[in-house]
């Protein structure tokens, strides 16, 4: 069995996460038991939610254990199988974590998913045709419930979730407006993803000025908002929400270092009778087949052209992850191992 490089969480961050929180380990891959498969990871998924799990704090999921492989999605190839469900050569996606190989109990429901790479590249199954894409789909379809002609806004608009959200909104006849960091990202949102407008939040120093930019981009107000960021951005959007608007809240990256995120205008929730719903997409597995079918078609037909930032080698994972938290990535952040 092959030697296996792994990244462990060595200690918990005190405030901002640093590379010193992680540790590179060389481990031996155990022999397979009946019903298990050995997966060689081609790509690792880096996602903002991982920062929250590094803290030892009450949350919707248990904290990442110290001294163990950082948990997360991985896509790769079965290299050995003792399960009738898989054969060597199958392309698969699962929660293999930050390591080069994983041993997976193939009999456990949901532990591994076989994927078709004929029209959709393997890496996209960790992004647009994976958990981030389904996250966008659920927030839009099940929480916001969009209607043609209405205005949808998404923060972190060119990330794996935001880019899928914009394309899904356009497919439903909505006006799609993005909020992103930098002119290159905003050009990509409009020129390649088809957003009607995109606002570079870095040009605005406070919620009031960002909100004025949103007023220009959303002349009819905002009917639906998908929140990935929180803080100043949420304050700016609340000032432009229409009565009975809906907000799907799945991320608060501005507060992942543990600092409180006060809300400046909470009274607007009542004034505009807003519906705000937080959600975790893994709690809604019943929608995944429908969402993945639509997302796979959009990618396969070129209507959704996801961008990727790819770091090379498992040693690069910690710095790539820290860069993601600061918005240095452009599109889905991956680590390529093969």
Q: Could you read off the pLDDT of 6-52 as tens digits, one per residue?
A: 999 999 999 899 999 999 999 999 999 999 999 999 999 999 999 98
| Residue 178 or residue 254, greater confidence | 178
Is residue 89 assigned to a domain? yes
Is residue 139 domain-shared with residue 236, that is, in the same domain?
yes
Kindly give the interhelix angle for 288-300 and 160-171, rounded to the nearest 10 degrees. Answer: 90
Q: Coil, strand or helix: which one is 26? A: strand
Kindly give the interhelix angle for 131-138 and 288-300, rounded to the nearest 10 degrees. Answer: 110
Tally the domains of the chain: 2
pLDDT (tens digit, 9 = 90+) per residue, 40-69? 999 999 999 999 899 988 777 789 999 999
SS3 content of the chain, % helix, strand, coil (to 5): 30, 25, 40
The answer, yes or no, to whether residue 110 has pLDDT greater than 90, is: no
Is residue 22 domain-shared with residue 151, that is, in the same domain?
no
CA–CA gap between residue 89 and residue 79 (Å, rounded): 6
pLDDT of residue 197: 98
69 bridge partner residues = 8
Boundary of a domain, candidates 282, 298, 314: 282
Is residue 87 domain-shared with residue 139, that is, in the same domain?
no
Is residue 330 domain-shared with residue 205, that is, in the same domain?
no
Domain with residue 52: its CATH number is 3.90.180.10
Q: Coil, strand or helix: which one is 135? A: helix
Is residue 49 domain-shared with residue 123, that is, in the same domain?
yes
Is residue 209 assigned to a domain? yes
Is residue 119 domain-shared with residue 144, that is, in the same domain?
no
Question: Which residue from 21, 24, 33 is spatially nearest to 5, judged by alpha carbons?
Answer: 24
Is residue 152 domain-shared with residue 240, that is, in the same domain?
yes
pLDDT of residue 259: 76
Q: Which backbone phi and psi does 94 adopt, to 5 degrees?
A: -165, -165
| DSSP conformation letters of 87-111 | -TT-EEEE---SBSEEEEETTSTTS
Is residue 100 domain-shared with residue 236, that is, in the same domain?
no
CA–CA gap between residue 63 and residue 52 (Å, rounded): 8
pLDDT of residue 261: 85
Domain with residue 261: its CATH number is 3.40.50.720
Is residue 299 assigned to a domain? no
Boundary of a domain, candidates 282, 297, 327: 282
Share of the chain above pLDDT 90, in %: 90
Is residue 290 assigned to a domain? no
- Structural domain harbouring 151: 131-282
Mean pLDDT of the chain, nearest integer: 95
Beta strand ranges found along 201-298 (DSSP E)? 222-227, 241-249, 275-278
Is residue 204 assigned to a domain? yes
Is residue 300 assigned to a domain? no
C-alpha dist (Å) from residue 338 to 43, 44, 266: 8, 11, 48
Is residue 7 assigned to a domain? yes
| DSSP conformation letters of 273-332 | T-EEEE--GGG-GGGHHHHHHHHHHHHHTTSS---EEEEESGGGHHHHHHHHHTT--SSE
Is residue 218 domain-shared with residue 143, that is, in the same domain?
yes
pLDDT (tens digit, 9 = 90+) per residue, 255-299? 777 778 889 999 999 999 999 999 999 999 999 999 999 999 999
Sign of the torsion angle spanned by Cα atoms 136, 140, 143, 144 = positive
Confidence of residue 90 (pLDDT cuts 50, 70, 90): very high
Going by DSSP bridges, is the β-strand pair 175-180/197-200 parallel, antiparallel, or unpaired? parallel
Is residue 17 assigned to a domain? yes
Is residue 147 domain-shared with residue 266, that is, in the same domain?
yes
CA–CA gap between residue 189 and residue 177 (Å, rounded): 9
| Mean pLDDT along residues 197-222 | 97
154 bridge partner residues = 178, 226
Q: For residue 20, what are the contacts with CB-CB under 8 A and spacing of at least 6?
A: 10, 11
pLDDT of residue 40: 98
| Mean pLDDT along residues 107-123 | 93
Is residue 161 domain-shared with residue 115, that is, in the same domain?
no
Q: What is the CA 322 to chain-centroid distance, rounded?
A: 15
pLDDT (tens digit, 9 = 90+) per residue, 135-187? 999 999 999 999 999 999 999 999 999 999 999 999 999 999 999 999 999 99
Is residue 71 domain-shared with residue 143, that is, in the same domain?
no
């Amino acid at each position: 069995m092959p030697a296996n490089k792994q990244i462990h969480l060595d200690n918990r961050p005190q405030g901002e996460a640093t590379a010193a929180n992680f540790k590179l380990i060389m481990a031996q891959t155990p022999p397979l038991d009946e019903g298990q498969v050995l997966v060689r990871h081609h790509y690792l998924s880096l996602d903002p939610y991982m920062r929250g799990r590094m803290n030892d704090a009450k949350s919707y999921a248990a904290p990442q254990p110290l001294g163990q492989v950082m948990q997360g999605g991985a896509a790769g190839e079965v290299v050995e199988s003792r399960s009738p469900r898989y054969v060597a050569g199958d392309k698969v996606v699962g929660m293999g974590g930050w390591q080069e190989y994983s041993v997976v109990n193939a009999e456990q429901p949901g532990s591994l998913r076989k994927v078709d790479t004929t029209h959709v590249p393997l890496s996209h199954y960790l992004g647009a045709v994976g958990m981030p894409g389904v996250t966008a789909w659920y927030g839009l379809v099940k929480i916001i419930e969009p209607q043609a002609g209405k205005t949808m806004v998404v923060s972190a608009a060119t990330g794996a979730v935001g880019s899928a959200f914009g394309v899904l909104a356009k497919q439903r006849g909505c006006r799609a407006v993005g909020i992103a960091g930098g002119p290159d990202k905003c050009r990509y949102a409009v020129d390649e993803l088809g957003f009607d407008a995109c606002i570079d939040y870095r040009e605005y120093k406070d919620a009031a000025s960002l909100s004025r930019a949103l007023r220009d981009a959303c002349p009819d107000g905002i009917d639906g908002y998908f929140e990935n960021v929180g803080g100043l951005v949420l304050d700016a959007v609340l000032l432009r929400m229409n009565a009975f608007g809906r907000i799907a809240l799945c991320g608060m990256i501005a507060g992942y270092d543990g600092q409180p995120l006060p809300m400046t205008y909470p009274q607007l929730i009542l004034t505009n009778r807003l519906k705000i719903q937080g959600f975790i997409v893994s709690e809604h597995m019943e929608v995944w087949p429908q969402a993945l079918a639509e997302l796979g078609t959009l990618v396969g037909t070129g209507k959704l052209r996801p961008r990727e930032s790819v770091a090379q080698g498992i040693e690069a994972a910690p710095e790539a992850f820290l860069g993601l938290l600061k918005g240095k990535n452009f599109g889905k952040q991956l680590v390529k191992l093969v």
